[in-house]
Chain A
Amino acid sequence: MNATTFMWALYAREVKRFQKLWFDTVATPIMSTVLYLLIFGVVAGSRSIPGTTYSAFVYAGLLGMMMVNSSFANPTFALILSKNVGTIIDIQLAPIAPWRVGIAYALAAFTRGVFTVVVAGIITIWFIPGIAIQHPLTFLAGLLLTGTEFGMLGVTCGLMMKNFESLTLVTTFILQPMIFLAGVFYPVSLLPAPWNTVSLFNPLHHNINLLRYGMIGYSDFSPFASFIIILLLSVGLFAFMNQIAAKSLKQ
């Protein structure tokens, strides 16, 4: 199988789709990152966190949040739109197995996440003096895992949902609360009991934790344990996505 045909052509198509809107793709997350940094990093910047500065802590968290948001948004948006416009038939007819369709969309989601984080990172990293990537390999692994995990979640949601209203509901009432309670703005270990324990069950906490460890070397939970947890969740999601894809691309 050639690296430019079948599922890879679908992957290339989905990458092209967000590239066409590259400005919108990065402008929004950059804007919100800068605003968050101003509010939390500068206004509340005097608070201290052992081993790092508060603004570096928040910044790393914000990049993680950006990775989650953009990789989730890419497939949900593309798939729900294609259902409404009817172009979903193109992937239903194509000689590509449903699970490969899912992976193609998830990898495109990962690509968009990395693109967004890299571009936004280059533009905003100057806000945090002295910051440098501490564990590049861990950071890359964190990006890859987070991108595909939320890409697959996005594919699953995109295939299950019929319209943008239900997507908004899921984003507002499930994804956003999970992101905000994932320790983006505060170390989970500083929370009073039982919330510190509860937070460990928030799967997103582990993505933020792993990415932050890779980036600034700070973690509030074992990064290796977070890595394993994300890996297991991704395997589960992969199986679930395959089932949904097989069911919804065929009746």
Chain B
Amino acid sequence: MFALEVNHIVKTFNDKKKNIVIADDDVSLTVEEGKIYGLLGPNGAGKSTLISLISGILTPTSGTISVFGTDIVSQTVEAKKMMGIVPQEIVTELAFTVDEILHYMGGMYGVPLEERKDRIGEVLRDLDLEEKRYEKARSLSGGMKRRLMVAKAIMHKPRFLILDEPTSGVDVALRQKIWELVRRMNKEGTTILFTTHYLEEAEQLCEEITLIHHGRVIKQGRLSDIQKEFSENVVTFELFRPDVTHLPHVSKQGIEFHYPITTHLDQNMSEVIQHYGDNLRSVKSEAASLEQIFLKLTAN
């Protein structure tokens, strides 16, 4: 069963000057139930737009989106009940306490009145916010407000949790805490979709990713496959003295050099060792980082 099926989504914006901006051009992706899925891309790629389309705030210009088989456009309310969404922007009710916010939010997602009190306690314990339960939300620190955003989204124990850049602008400790919660909820059966522009975050959390750039899917699939595909393509090495004659097709990537594999990994590796000899500081063909893959994909 797919928690999410996004089929050929196009969203065209009509802004004030009647200009048409294509934010997501023909994006398609599927998330299997029980997975942690990463949606990656630089700022402005269209991640939040896609999240808004999935969460039913934006209507797609064409294409379909379904959540556990329920169409978000024709059965909006039913589809929304299954999702918990943590938007990118932190927003805070001015008048209410943490307890009140969660109480009403739970209610709006169908948590029965008699269960809400206990559920608020549970959620606040999970997010380390117990002491703030009866404080005004606006008096919380930035990191706490971010956690409150997560708390609001999980009050009704959604089957599918979507987090839009949950860790942008938060400190390392909080980031760990959010990852921990995401992993735990996933173990308990919640499907997770999160967006990030921190590539290492995806490497830590998920098996499958979609990379988007300028509103287009540029790469999709299992993270390990993608890494394998890219790592087998290149021998990476560092030199003590970089200004020497190079093998053909060698390119410089920061302080490293990349030699594309033309015949066979071992063959190319020994070519590098023979050519550079004791000028080599290091040589490897290990899995490429997402960062490198991303640079490569967006270059052409």
Contacts and interface: CB of A to CB of B under 8 A. Distances in A.
Interface of A: 2, 4-6, 8-10, 12-13, 16-17, 20-21, 81, 85-87, 89-97, 249-251
Contact of A93 (B85, B100, B106): B85
A93 B89 CA distance: 13
A147 to B, nearest CB: 22
B59 interface: yes
Interface residues of B, number: 31
A184 to B, nearest CB: 32
A97 B107 contact: no
Nearest to B55: A93
- Secondary structure class of chain B's binding surface, majority of residues: loop
A13 B58 CA distance: 25
A92 B91 CA distance: 13
B297 interface: no
The 5 residue pairs across chains A and B that have the minimum distance between CB atoms? A9-B107, A95-B80, A86-B91, A13-B104, A4-B113
A83 to B, nearest CB: 11
A3 to B, nearest CB: 9
B221 interface: no
B100 A90 contact: no
Nearest to A101: B108
B87 A89 contact: yes
Nearest to A17: B95
B193 to A, nearest CB: 15
Nearest to B114: A4
B142 to A, nearest CB: 15
B111 A5 contact: yes
A85 B137 CA distance: 13
Contacts of A9: 104, 106-108
28 contacts: A2-B110, A5-B108, A5-B110, A6-B107, A6-B110, A8-B107, A9-B106, A10-B107, A12-B104, A13-B100, A13-B104, A13-B107, A17-B95, A85-B93, A89-B89, A89-B91, A90-B105, A92-B57, A93-B56, A93-B85, A95-B80, A95-B108, A95-B109, A96-B108, A249-B57, A250-B56, A250-B59, A251-B57
Contacts of B77: 95-97
Given A93-B80, A95-B78, A251-B59, A6 B108 contact: yes
Nearest to A87: B91
A35 B92 CA distance: 38
B146 interface: no
B216 interface: no
Interface of B: 55-59, 76-78, 80-81, 85, 87, 89, 91-96, 100, 104-113, 152
Contacts of A12: 104, 107
Given A95-B81, A250-B56, A251-B59, A85 B91 contact: yes
A184 B175 CA distance: 61
Nearest to B11: A251
Contacts of B89: 86, 89
Given A90-B152, A95-B80, A250-B58, A5 B107 contact: yes
Contact of A250 (B57, B93, B105, B110): B57
Contacts of A251: 57-59
A16 B107 contact: no
Contact of B110 (A86, A91, A95): A95
B152 A16 contact: no
A134 to B, nearest CB: 39
A45 to B, nearest CB: 41
Contacts of B112: 2, 4-5
